[in-house]
Amino acid sequence: MRPRIIPREGIDRIDYEGGSVAIGRFRCEIGHPDFRDTGPIRQAIVVFPRTSVWIRHEGGREFVADPNVVTIYNRGQRYDRFPIDPAGDRCDWFALSDDLARDVAAHFTPSTAETPERPFRYERAPGRADLYARQRALLRRAMTGVLSPLEAEEEVIAIVSAVLALARDHTERHGSTKRADATRRRRDLAEAARAELARAPFENRSVADLARALSTSPFHLCRVFREQTGQTMHGYRVGIRLRRAIDRLSTASGRAPGGLSAIAHEAGFASHAHLVQICRRELGMTPTALRARLG
């Protein structure tokens, strides 16, 4: 059974639909009348944000959906969206049919059988740079019409599986989201710090500046952010910048001669050499090799 994706005019773009998967893009400007509530999710999907917004699942707490995060939705999920990035909400999504979603989810959470209508038990996962690059490469192939049904289904299953594994591992490390008040305050502080970083990821703000904006101390902010995210704020910001570079490398302008230095500076890196260093460390390849992979 195919995913039942009904594109919303001017917001959704379906780039591939066949078999039990679909691939597409979501673009919603802040001024769109449905920006806050675009209605319930139409199919089980995982979403790779390209900009940053606040997301609040029905009955849940707000969290920042930015390029370092992958969000996860069951069919029928209702949620609210609140702006961070002036560009609004821009993301890429990978949808599964109900049967396939249950099959994949059961591998990571056997209790899925108890709630077959809501197979995904997680609302988000920490993203990895290599996984972000992989989904961008698959999207590019879908956009150019060269994606075969076999490749599409295998790759979507692999990407969704990787996301669910990351979500499961993060949940096991950090425990239940039902926390004591003090822990919730630490979580909220980390989310607020992520929002501050997402608002201006290409500015070189100091710890003192971020702490001042959040009415806390630099020491407490550094300690809580690392405790809640497993990363330093510097590392988190580098992750957002790297994903911006990946996005640019996947476009026609990103493949123009001499484009790598401009992309490095636009993404907030000190130089082309700095971008090369980060790509090698996080992706195991140079920007030139990544550009070739992204097609």
- The answer to whether residue 148 scores a pLDDT higher than 60 is yes
- Categorize the per-residue pLDDT at 112 as very low, low, confident or very high, splitting at 50, 70 and 90: confident
139: number of Cβ within 10 Å: 22
- The answer to whether residue 127 scores a pLDDT higher than 70 is yes
Q: Judge: domain 181-295, CATH 1.10.10.60.
A: yes
- Categorize the per-residue pLDDT at 8 as very low, low, confident or very high, splitting at 50, 70 and 90: confident
Structure confidence at residue 66 (pLDDT)? 97
Locate CATH 2.60.120.810 in the chain: 12-174
Structure confidence at residue 3 (pLDDT)? 67
- The answer to whether residue 176 scores a pLDDT higher than 70 is no
- The answer to whether residue 91 scores a pLDDT higher than 90 is yes
Structure confidence at residue 173 (pLDDT)? 79
CB 240 within 8 A of CB 278: no
Asked which of 117-121, 164-168, 175-179, 273-277 is least confident by mean pLDDT, the reply is: 175-179
Tens digit of pLDDT for each residue in 193-219?
999 999 989 999 999 999 999 999 999
In sequence order, the 6+-apart residues with CB closer than 8 A to the CB of 34 are 8, 11, 28
Asked which of 8-12, 124-128, 156-160, 276-280 is least confident by mean pLDDT, the reply is: 8-12
CATH of domain 12-174: 2.60.120.810
Q: Which of 230, 248, 289, 241 is nearest to 67 (CA)?
A: 241
DSSP 110: G
Q: How many Å apart are CA 236 and CA 241, to the nearest integer?
A: 9
Buried b (16+ CB within 10 A) or exposed e, 220-245: ebbebbeebbeeebeebbbbbbbbbb
Structure confidence at residue 132 (pLDDT)? 98
- Categorize the per-residue pLDDT at 113 as very low, low, confident or very high, splitting at 50, 70 and 90: low
pTM over 0.85: yes
Structure confidence at residue 120 (pLDDT)? 94
Structure confidence at residue 256 (pLDDT)? 58
- The answer to whether residue 251 scores a pLDDT higher than 90 is no
